[in-house]
């Protein structure tokens, strides 16, 4: 038996009083997860055992928050997974800093949430709330295919709040067991990867040749900074209030922009039949991208998060890979030289003469890295493919044109 897992994103209909409880629950849940991390960081050798972290933090978190026991355990598990990720990176000689959770979300299991056909009961800091699903009409959509399908069982969910739309969404995990004649190793002939490179001039570029220009975003960002600077010089109470209002408007505008880009990236993956969307690792991205500001690092993380949960609804996985040398490697012949990238925007291979946009070249290399990382065929055959504009390319360099 091989289990098929799918995630369905459902908008929740929540009244104001229940929304307040959910916001408070999110705030205390994040505090709990961050507390567990801070406690672990006191040790030279960071504990990753959930049992050990439970013994050290459970009582304090229960005393300091109003979270129900299962949500306390959920927050601890979230922290433990993040700590394990950092320790794993250290063991591989990579940099990683202390995790800190800010994304407004809460993980629910079937003890802290009860799932019905058209609604859900969620544990909060003050009892439970009932929220109805906002579902599309019956038809060909993920809600009908998985959520309303008796063959799929709900396994849990993640509550997420989107500030741009002031809306709560539930990412509901579903699972079914099906007979399979082929072992499910996640590496079938039809496994296809979409590579994505992030940058300043181009916010995102895919291995299929789609570009999202960053000029407008950067220009609007500069305008906001210039106006803030003028208001700060004024120094009046009215100017201070205007600065705060501007910050809210700017955040909403940027998040709307990133939502549009993430939707287009996921659609590009769907169009090309991709199972995976590969991004470069976002940890320490400002160290690798000197021109990037704190704003860009925040925007990149936000974009990845938006792509990840939109991709889940399509049964597509979003992941991050080590980006080492992806900007210097020729995606055509594989030659890796610093001289291959004479400028920020240009790539020119010193060996084979391949000339192309540098970000597009990097996007293909990110996809190639994901291909090589996932190559597990015992017969040495190429079982994974990189999505290109005109077709696909496997890890052996064999090209298949689009039909």
Structure confidence at residue 89 as a pLDDT band (50, 70, 90): confident
Structure confidence at residue 141 as a pLDDT band (50, 70, 90): low
| Cβ-proximal residues to 28 (8 Å cutoff; 6+ apart), any chain | 65, 66, 67, 125
Are 174 and 152 in contact by the 8 Å Cβ rule? The answer is: yes
pLDDT(2) > 50: no
Tokens read off for 139:
């038809």
Q: Percent helix, strand and coil across the chain, each rounded to 5?
A: 40, 25, 35
pLDDT(377) > 50: no
- How distant, in Å, are the alpha carbons of 29, 63, 74, 222 from that of 70? 11, 14, 6, 45
Please compute the mean of the pLDDT values over residues 251-270 and round it to a whole number. Answer: 83
The CA distance from 240 to 257, in Å, is: 26
Please compute the mean of the pLDDT values over residues 76-91 and round it to a whole number. Answer: 87
pLDDT(17) > 90: yes
pLDDT(221) > 80: no
The CA distance from 101 to 33, in Å, is: 7
Q: Provide the pLDDT for residue 108.
A: 93
Q: Provide the pLDDT for residue 126.
A: 92
Please compute the mean of the pLDDT values over residues 251-261 and round it to a whole number. Answer: 79
Name the E strands within 179-297: 191-198, 202-206, 211-213, 276-280
Structure confidence at residue 230 as a pLDDT band (50, 70, 90): low
Q: Provide the pLDDT for residue 248.
A: 59
Q: Provide the pLDDT for residue 140.
A: 64
pLDDT(286) > 80: no
Please compute the mean of the pLDDT values over residues 230-245 and round it to a whole number. Answer: 64
Element at 297 (helix H, strand E): helix 294-313
For residues 250 and 53, which has the higher predicted lDDT (pLDDT)? 53
Q: Give one DSSP letter per residue of 75-112, joined into a string.
A: HHHHHHHHHHHHHHHHHTT---------S-EEEE-TTT
pLDDT (tens digit, 9 = 90+) per residue, 162-211? 887 889 999 888 887 543 333 333 343 446 889 999 887 888 899 988 88
Helix orientation angle between 69-91 and 16-40, rounded to the nearest 10 degrees: 40
pLDDT(260) > 80: yes
Indicate the pTM of the whole model.
0.52
Please tell me whether residue 292 adopts helix, strand or coil conformation: coil
Please compute the mean of the pLDDT values over residues 316-342 and round it to a whole number. Answer: 86
Are 332 and 353 in contact by the 8 Å Cβ rule? The answer is: no
Structure confidence at residue 378 as a pLDDT band (50, 70, 90): very low
The CA distance from 12 to 165, in Å, is: 12
Q: Provide the pLDDT for residue 187.
A: 40
pLDDT (tens digit, 9 = 90+) per residue, 359-369? 899 999 998 88
pLDDT(41) > 60: yes
The CA distance from 177 to 388, in Å, is: 33
| Cβ-proximal residues to 76 (8 Å cutoff; 6+ apart), any chain | 32, 33, 36, 50, 53, 54, 57, 58, 61
Q: Provide the pLDDT for residue 111.
A: 87
Are 320 and 304 in contact by the 8 Å Cβ rule? The answer is: yes
Name the E strands within 201-273: 202-206, 211-213
pLDDT(330) > 50: yes
Read off the DSSP letter of residue 215. H
Q: What percent of the chain has pLDDT over 70?
A: 74
Handedness of CA 67, 31, 281, 295 (dihedral sign): positive
Are 108 and 122 in contact by the 8 Å Cβ rule? The answer is: yes
The CA distance from 124 to 23, in Å, is: 9
To the nearest whole number, what is the mean pLDDT of the chain? 79
């Amino acid at each position: 038996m091989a289990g098929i897992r799918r995630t369905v994103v459902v908008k929740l209909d929540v009244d104001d009083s229940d929304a307040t409880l959910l916001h408070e629950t999110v705030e205390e849940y994040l505090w709990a997860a961050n507390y567990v991390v801070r406690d672990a960081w006191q040790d030279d050798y960071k504990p990753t055992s959930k049992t050990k972290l439970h013994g050290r933090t459970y009582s304090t978190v229960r005393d300091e928050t109003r979270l129900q026991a299962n949500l306390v355990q959920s927050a601890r598990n979230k922290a433990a997974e993040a700590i394990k990720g950092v320790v794993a990176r250290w063991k591989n000689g990579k940099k990683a800093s202390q995790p800190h959770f800010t994304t407004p979300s809460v993980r629910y299991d079937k003890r802290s949430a009860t799932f019905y056909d058209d609604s859900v009961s969620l544990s909060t800091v003050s009892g439970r709330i009932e929220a109805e699903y906002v579902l599309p009409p019956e038809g060909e959509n993920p809600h009908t295919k998985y959520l309303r399908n008796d063959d799929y069982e709900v396994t849990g969910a993640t509550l997420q709040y989107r500030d741009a739309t002031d809306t709560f969404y539930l990412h509901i995990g579903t699972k079914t067991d099906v007979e399979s004649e082929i072992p499910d190793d996640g590496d079938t002939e039809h496994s296809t990867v979409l590579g994505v490179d992030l940058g300043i001039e181009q916010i995102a570029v895919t291995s299929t040749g789609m570009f999202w220009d960053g000029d407008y975003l950067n220009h609007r960002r500069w305008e906001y900074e210039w106006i803030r600077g003028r208001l700060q010089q004024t120094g009046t109470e009215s100017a201070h209030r205007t600065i705060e209002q501007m910050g809210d408007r700017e955040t909403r505008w940027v998040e709307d922009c990133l939502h549009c880009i993430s939707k287009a990236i996921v659609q590009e993956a769907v169009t090309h039949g991709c199972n995976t969307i590969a991004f470069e690792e976002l940890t320490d991205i400002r160290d690798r991208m000197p021109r990037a500001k704190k704003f860009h690092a925040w925007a990149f993380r936000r974009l990845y998060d938006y792509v990840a949960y939109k991709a889940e609804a399509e049964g597509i996985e979003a992941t991050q890979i080590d980006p080492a040398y992806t900007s210097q490697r020729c995606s055509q012949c594989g030659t890796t030289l610093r001289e291959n990238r004479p400028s920020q925007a240009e790539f020119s291979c010193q060996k084979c003469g391949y000339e192309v946009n540098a970000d597009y070249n990097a996007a293909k290399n990110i996809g190639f890295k994901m291909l090589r990382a996932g190559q597990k065929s015992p017969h040495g055959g190429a079982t994974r493919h990189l999505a290109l504009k005109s077709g696909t390319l496997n890890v052996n360099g064999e090209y298949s044109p689009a039909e």
